Amino acid sequence: MRVEAFAALTAADLDAWHTLREANPALDSPYFHPGFAAAVHASGRPVHVAVARDGGRPVAFLPHHREGRLLRPVGWPGADFQGPILAAGAGFRPLDLLGNGAAGYAFDHLVEGAPGFERWVVSRRPSPYLDVTGGLAGYLGRASRSGKENMGQARRRAAKAGRELGELRFVAASSDPKALARVVELKRAQYAATGARDFFAGQDRVRLLDGLLRARDPGFSGVLSTLHAGEHLLAAHFGLRSGGVLHWWFPVYDPAFARLSPGWILLRELVAAAPALGIVRVDLGRGEDEYKRRAKTGESVVCQGLVTRNPVRGAAAAALSKARSVARSVRARRKP
Domain covering 2-126+301-334, topology: Aminopeptidase (3.40.630)
Hey, which residues does 232 pair with through a beta bridge? 229
The C-alpha atoms of residue 209 and residue 205 are separated, in whole angstroms, by 7
| Exposed/middle/buried for residue 164 (C-beta within 10 Å: 0-12, 13-18, 19+) | exposed
Give me the tens of pLDDT residue by residue for the chain, a chain 336 residues long. Answer: 999 999 999 999 999 999 999 999 999 999 999 999 999 999 999 999 999 999 889 999 999 999 999 999 999 999 999 999 999 999 999 999 999 999 999 999 999 999 999 999 999 999 999 999 999 999 999 999 999 999 999 999 999 999 999 999 999 999 999 999 999 999 999 999 999 999 999 999 999 999 999 988 889 999 999 999 999 999 999 999 999 999 999 999 999 999 999 999 999 999 999 999 999 999 999 988 999 999 999 999 999 999 999 865 655 555 555 545 534 443 433 343
CA angle 141, 146, 148 (to 5 degrees): 35
DSSP 284: -
Nearest to 72 by CA among 87, 85, 62, 86: 62
Chain centroid to CA 161: how far? 30
Cβ atoms of 104 and 122 closer than 8 Å: no
How are beta strands 70-73 and 104-111 bridged, if at all?
A: parallel
The C-alpha atoms of residue 62 and residue 32 are separated, in whole angstroms, by 9
Identical fold, 2-126+301-334 and 133-279: yes
What are the extents of the domains in the chain? 2-126+301-334, 133-279
The C-alpha atoms of residue 262 and residue 161 are separated, in whole angstroms, by 9
Q: How many CB atoms lie within 10 A of CB 94?
A: 23
Q: Which CATH superfamily is domain 133-279 in?
A: Gcn5-related N-acetyltransferase (GNAT) (3.40.630.30)
The C-alpha atoms of residue 158 and residue 180 are separated, in whole angstroms, by 22
Cβ atoms of 266 and 251 closer than 8 Å: yes
Nearest to 76 by CA among 114, 34, 51, 106: 106
Cis preceding linkage at 77, omega within 30: yes
pTM of the model: 0.92
